[in-house]
Amino acid sequence: MIGFQEAHAPRLYKALAAHERQTTVKKWVYVPYDQLNTSLGPVCELAPSETGLILIESLAKGKRRPYHQQKLALILCNQRHFALEQAQIGYRIHYAMTADSYANTLQQIYKVTGQIHMMEAAEYELRKELEPLIQEGVIRLHPNETWLTQEADFDAGTKGKRPWRMDLFYQYLRRKTNILMENGKPVGGKYSLDGENRKPWKGTPPAPQLPRFQPDPIALEAKALIEKVFHNHIGTIDLNHLPCTQAHAETLWRWVQDECLVNFGPYEDAMSTQSKTLFHSCLSPLINLNRLLPRKIINDVLALDLPLSSKEGFIRQVLGWREFMRHVHRKTHGFRRLDEQEWSSEVSPCAKWGHPRPAHSTSDGGSLINALDYQTPLPEAFWGKESGLNCLDHVVNQVMETGFTHHIPRLMVLANIATLLEIQPREITDWFWVSFIDAYDWVVEPNVLGMGTYATGPLFTTKPYIAGSNYINKMSDFCKECAFHPKKTCPITRLYWAFLERHKSKFKSNFRLSMILRTLDKRSPDNKAIDAFTFEQVRRQLSNAQSLTPESLTRQPVETK
Ligand code: FAD
């Protein structure tokens, strides 16, 4: 057993010991932090009494990046409760707490348990770290059954053609699974009802209140450890809003079905200062840990009596987007290798965040793909320094506080502004990775490098998702409290035009941008000069950690002699 565990989690170890039974384990299975489910894979091949589960808390992993404290709490609380829940059912638990890597720890455990089984890891970083153990036969790998689709589905759905298209992949899955299909045709006549799901929210119907959870001693112990060992990480821990047990996960899922889904579709794109999450499910933290299996979510949603726009809209997210993103990441090794070209950064995450690189670290700095060559360093505004743009400040504050926002603030505020400012893609990706409680490489990297910033070019998105202040004003109430007027002074619209002007040669044959490029052509030279000035000014001021004001962005008339 590895050293200091009892000292770090005496309650956990005492509770585990209370359930320990002397059984003969025939199969030891390593359950990574994000596979917290015993209904599939090698863990359910034998009776619980014949199966041992290995769980590891690696402080080295926690320190690899300054992850939000709420994310660490989410993972530790769920993993600890999962271990206890399985011990109660009869599984033997080997719970290792270590300062070492997963690979070295498993190597040690193997000496005691012999052959270890596991399902393929979702994260590239963990797959890479465990590769040598798989080659040596220490670990026997099984397919990861938590996913709904195989690589063959991705190939068949996208026909292997680039840009890989989510809509084609999703349509293929609908036909293959017969989900929301009638006589071979999509129910409602269309595969996607996205076009109907764009209502702003003006306060009604009332937004549901997130359920609260009562913290127990196991969760409090994990919180205390995080506050001691990871005190310099961003954010704070709010256990009242942290589902930690299987029962909590089910309560949250019940709440989503009862309170959120009916209005999910129509208000999917809306944002508000009055509700942090509106009708979104907030399930990604638990789905990504597999506390809630996507399969169950989809089956339950299909059984509900819901408007089609909500039912289809929600299923598209889980069956379509989530699976698609995972395949894109896996196929490209996290965008490190594309068309024989290497994009890996050798700078380890530890070095990037100013820590010494541990001797056992196998992680590189991820992909440096940067199709449009953005070079702006990440401004302090993303860490909570006021930018003067109410939308950005409001959303950043929420992320710093909770480690969460729903999809549209991520895409249309954070990633949109980052793209318009040409923030270096690796920097903004790493910011999302450490700031969000549901971030893992397989999901955060395609969402930020691809969908959010277009750093992957036309690999799987046909155009950048960018917008001016009109969109933000229409879909939210952020502009009401802002010093900038959305139609007159807000710099975001000028940043948008300036972006298109700078990159228009790369988009000239892009059919989806042709109309907007024609409008760009009609902009007067004066307007274009102010667009370019605004871009330089905003970039300079935010890079100097200065807050923007309408006055600071006013161009002084050029003196003529
Ligand atoms: P809902 O809106 O209720 O959707 C239901 C579920 O669909 C989600 O829980 C999620 O599992 C799935 N889903 C929807 N969209 C996506 C998507 N684009 N990719 C993968 N799954 C999706 N999602 C993460 O899980 N982790 C991340 O780190 C992450 N980073 C993102 C960064 C950017 C820039 C963008 C644009 C999106 C990101 N997403 C990420 C996708 C999406 O925003 C979140 O999954 C979603 O907001 C989570 O909130 P929710 O559970 O309320 O989702």
Q: Tell me which amino acid residue 131 is.
A: E
**Is the CB of 411 inside a 6 Å radius of any atom of ligand 1?**
yes
**Is the CB of 444 inside a 6 Å radius of any atom of ligand 1?**
yes
Mean pLDDT of 377-393: 97
pLDDT for 135: 98
- Label the pairing between strands 337-338 and 341-342: antiparallel
Residue 400 or 350, more confident? 400
**Is the CB of 67 inside a 6 Å radius of any atom of ligand 1?**
no
**Is the CB of 317 inside a 6 Å radius of any atom of ligand 1?**
yes
Mean pLDDT of 194-217: 95
Instruction: Kindly report the pTM of this predicted structure.
Output: 0.97
**Is the CB of 322 inside a 6 Å radius of any atom of ligand 1?**
yes
Closest-CA residue to 72 (of 178, 225, 185): 225
What value does the mean pLDDT of the chain take? 95
| Among protein residues, the one whose CA lies closest to atom 36 of ligand 1 | 411
pLDDT for 560: 47
pLDDT for 1: 41
- Residue 377, burial from CB neighbour count under 10 angstroms (0-12, 13-18, 19+): exposed
Top mutation candidate among 279, 382, 407 for ligand 1, by most atoms within 8 Å of CB: 407
CA separation for the pair 2, 166 (Å, rounded): 45
**Is the CB of 280 inside a 6 Å radius of any atom of ligand 1?**
yes
**Is the CB of 282 inside a 6 Å radius of any atom of ligand 1?**
yes
State yes or no: pLDDT of 149 exceeds 90.
Answer: yes
Residue 109 or 350, more confident? 109
- How many angstroms is it from 497 CA to the middle of ligand 1? 28
The atom of ligand 1 lying closest to the CA of 318 is 7
Q: Is 235 helix (H, G, I), strand (E, B) or coil?
A: coil
Top mutation candidate among 447, 453, 456, 461 for ligand 1, by most atoms within 8 Å of CB: 447
**Is the CB of 288 inside a 6 Å radius of any atom of ligand 1?**
yes
Judge whether 309 and 266 are in contact, CB under 8 Å.
yes
Contacting residues for 409 by C-beta, under 8 A, at least 6 apart: 271, 395, 398
- How many angstroms is it from 284 CA to the middle of ligand 1? 6
State yes or no: pLDDT of 268 exceeds 70.
Answer: yes
Judge whether 290 and 146 are in contact, CB under 8 Å.
yes
pLDDT for 555: 79
**Is the CB of 448 inside a 6 Å radius of any atom of ligand 1?**
yes
Q: What does the pLDDT look like over 50-62, one tens digit per residue?
A: 999 999 999 999 9
Top mutation candidate among 147, 259, 264, 284 for ligand 1, by most atoms within 8 Å of CB: 284
Mean pLDDT of 296-300: 98
Mean pLDDT of 358-373: 85
**Is the CB of 437 inside a 6 Å radius of any atom of ligand 1?**
no
State yes or no: pLDDT of 19 exceeds 50.
Answer: yes
Give 362's pLDDT tier (boundaries 50, 70, 90).
Answer: confident
- Angstrom distances, CA of residue 310 to CA of 197, 249, 267, 412: 8, 21, 9, 21
Q: Name the residue with tokens 């690696």.
A: 58
- How many angstroms is it from 327 CA to the middle of ligand 1? 15
pLDDT for 353: 81
Give 345's pLDDT tier (boundaries 50, 70, 90).
Answer: confident
> Please, how many CA atoms are within 13 Å of residue 30, restricted to the half-sphere of its CB?
31
**Is the CB of 256 inside a 6 Å radius of any atom of ligand 1?**
no
| Among protein residues, the one whose CA lies closest to atom 29 of ligand 1 | 444
- How many angstroms is it from 286 CA to the middle of ligand 1? 12
**Is the CB of 406 inside a 6 Å radius of any atom of ligand 1?**
yes
Mean pLDDT of 279-295: 98
**Is the CB of 415 inside a 6 Å radius of any atom of ligand 1?**
yes
Top mutation candidate among 164, 317, 417 for ligand 1, by most atoms within 8 Å of CB: 317
pLDDT for 352: 80
Judge whether 418 and 543 are in contact, CB under 8 Å.
no
Rg, the chain, Cα only: 24
Give 557's pLDDT tier (boundaries 50, 70, 90).
Answer: low
- Residue 87, burial from CB neighbour count under 10 angstroms (0-12, 13-18, 19+): buried
**Helix, strand, coil percent content, the chain, rounded in steps of 5:** 50, 5, 40
| Phi, psi dihedrals of residue 426, rounded to the nearest 5° | -65, -40
Q: What does the pLDDT look like over 222-245, one tens digit per residue?
A: 999 999 999 999 999 999 999 999
